[in-house]
Structure 1
């Protein structure tokens, strides 16, 4: 287990006789061992993080006993390396997290190594759950589809775990948005013109992205084609042969015929919603969960109270 330098010094002591061997055992071996630890510790520098580098400099400056050097090499260096890794991971979470994660993460970075370890073990999940509650409230307030909104209410009423909240936001909500969009498209194409009917059926048979695109742009494009076909088949207005005015227009103005119109209500992703032109039925658009985290779970209650007041 000895270094080459230790082995060489030991062999030389043996060759030099009893006095040299006694000096080697009582003095030289300890000095050599300390030098070996210092060399081994120096070799940790190239891939060391900030905390470990600081610890290396400190122990090389003040580590004047074999016990201190051995403790650092065998134990402390691993603790410092882990804490450096924890700092990097916490910084990554802060960069991509919501308000709760950012605040808790910054507090952990300013704390002790134990604080950082605890944050990564449990604190991050509690903070993320608070952010998820805010995000669910935002979605519930901005989405008009009944399927997703009812699922959010059911989730919140069941005291969900942090993992359940994460799964809902990352997976379930998109499935339910698509279900709401399917219902909306089916209502839109009921009794629609040929182009709108064709485009709507294609969207229903396609992917969730196809349905999103139909509600964003395809709906208006298909409706415009149907309207253009109607305008083309409509007979030209008769002239009275006198002053070129359209018959029946006593004021001398022109007849104005409009097709279906689009409303400018916004979905939760900022895309415009549209009407079918029959009964002014507002469609839904599937969007991302977003990251606008601005309050607590009380937003969900406020959204429900506003909705209940509007229905009343």
Structure 2
């Protein structure tokens, strides 16, 4: 008897690696073993039944019942075992000697396919290779029991090395420690440790932003965030998204103050910036306002009467317009720097993988002191 599911698994194993990687849903059927569990051990072959033994059929039935009662037996194994019992002695003998082994190989293939969704590049390549060339149950079992864990750890090492190259001080130190540890240490770092270390780096970045920014809206938001014992995910979102929204609000306020009572060119440029993009407002505060002021001053100087052409020469040479002498700088910082001076990522809080919420407040208490110290230094400087 050739089971259709076994044929499907064999056909899938013969496909190109790209097809296998694109089709992890093959392993999601109800007949597959649960994720992270190994298929049940294969029952040993039974000797050819002795026709003089009247109870051989009963012994085969008990053997099959034991196979399908195993906690890791797949639904397909159970279904095939029950059918063999119902079909009689010959079917039971065939199930014990042939069918159970074929089904077990199919179960291993499905269990291996289910490794793909969260696998790194090395493990994905290994899965495709074993499904293409793993034509014995011994090869499949060894891959599932041993090789997959070795490949997963290799992928973890690569990812941790990448974080060392791109992360802040806290992330770098924690990542180097994980590389020197055990495979379990590396897995734990990627699961939780990296996010707690990133939170400490984010606190340092918040202190830097708070010390260098003059706008009240962003400064107040930073204080409120820190008073609420934020989680690592909340810190990330604030640095990647919220801070830029609040910077723009501060810039709007600064521009409104600059154009209040300004000359025509400065007023025109300021209104255009307010109607434009956040980048337009940043550019206006950085350079546009000064260019507009220069135009207003040039126009006013041109309107002055020439010396000796009437009026009080002394007054004409010394008078100045208030619109050309006023100044306003606003906040011209374009981009806040992330970890280790690198621009912050724009992936958002969902591209990361799982972030740690519970217990994060305690882990961030030490970093909050950085913010307080920065503000004390700024207050001393202003005093």
TM-score of the pair, normalised by structure 1:
0.61
The answer (yes or no) to whether the contact 1:223–1:260 under 8 Å persists in 2 is: no
Cα offset, 1:79, TM superposition: 3.9
Confirm or deny: 8 A CA contact 1:100 1:130 kept in the other structure: yes
Task: Name the SS of the counterpart of 2:82 in structure 1.
Answer: helix
SS where residue 178 of structure 2 aligns? Answer: helix
Q: Distance in 1 between matches of 2:310 and 2:202?
A: 69
Within 2, Cα distance between the matches of 1:33 and 1:278? 41
SS in 1 for 2:284: helix
Q: Per the alignment, in what secondary structure is the counterpart of residue 285 of structure 2?
A: helix
Distance in 2 of aligned mates of 1:282 and 1:84? 19
Cα distance in 2 for residues equivalent to 1:279 and 1:76: 31
- How many residue pairs were aligned? 308
1:303 Cα offset (Å): 1.7
- CA gap 1:67/1:219 in 2 versus in 1, 3 angstroms: same
Runs of at least 5 residues in structure 2 that lack an aligned partner in the other structure: 1-71
Q: In 2, are the aligned partners of 1:273 and 1:285 still within 8 Å (CA)?
A: no
C-alpha distance in structure 2 between counterparts of 1:181 and 1:59, whole Å = 58
Mind listing any 5+ residue stretches in structure 1 that lack a counterpart?
Answer: none
Range that drifts further, 125-134 or 29-38: 29-38
Instruction: Give RMSD over aligned pairs.
Output: 11.9
Which digits, 9 at most, give the CA deviation of each residue in 1:166-220, with x for residues without a partner? 0000000000000000000000000000000000000001110110111111111
Structure 1: how far apart are the matches of 2:89 and 2:253?
97
Conservation of the 8 A alpha-carbon contact between 1:181 and 1:286: no
Among candidates 318, 325, 332, match of residue 261 of structure 1: 332
CA contact (8 A) 1:260 1:277 kept: no
Deviation of residue 309 (structure 1)?
3.6
- 1:216 and 1:273 in contact (8 A); partners too: no
Determine the C-alpha separation between the residues in 2 that align with 1:285 and 1:118.
12
**Does the 8 Å contact 1:203/1:211 carry over to 2?**
yes
Query: How many angstroms does 1:281 deviate by?
Result: 41
Alpha-carbon shift at residue 299 of structure 1 (Å): 2.7
Within 2, Cα distance between the matches of 1:70 and 1:282?
Answer: 30
Deviates more, 1:258-267 or 1:295-304: 258-267
Q: TM-score, normalised by structure 2?
A: 0.51
Shift of 1:75: 3.3
CA displacement at 1:70 relative to structure 2: 4.9
Q: CA deviation at 1:107?
A: 1.0
Shift of 1:306: 2.6
With over 3 angstroms needed to count, the CA separation of the structure-2 counterparts of 1:147 and 1:67, relative to structure 1, is: same
Query: How far has the Cα of 1:124 moved from its partner?
Result: 0.3
**Deviations along 1:108-130, whole A, 9 cap, x unmatched?**
11111111100000000000000
| Structure 2 Cα separation of the partners of residues 277 and 31 of structure 1 | 46
Instruction: Determine if the alignment matches structure 1 residue 128 to structure 2 residue 195.
Output: no
Displacement of 1:13: 28
What SS is found at the alignment partner of 1:247? helix
SS in structure 2 opposite 1:269?
A: helix
- The reply on whether 1:219 has 2:286 as its aligned counterpart is no
**Aligned mate of 2:113, from 23, 35, 42:** 42
8 Å CA contact 2:213, 2:331 repeated in 1: no
Per-residue deviation, 1:275:
32
Flag the 1:228–1:121 CA change in 2: closer, same or farther, 3 A.
same
* 1:76 paired residue number: 147
Retained in 1: the 8 A contact 2:231–2:357? no
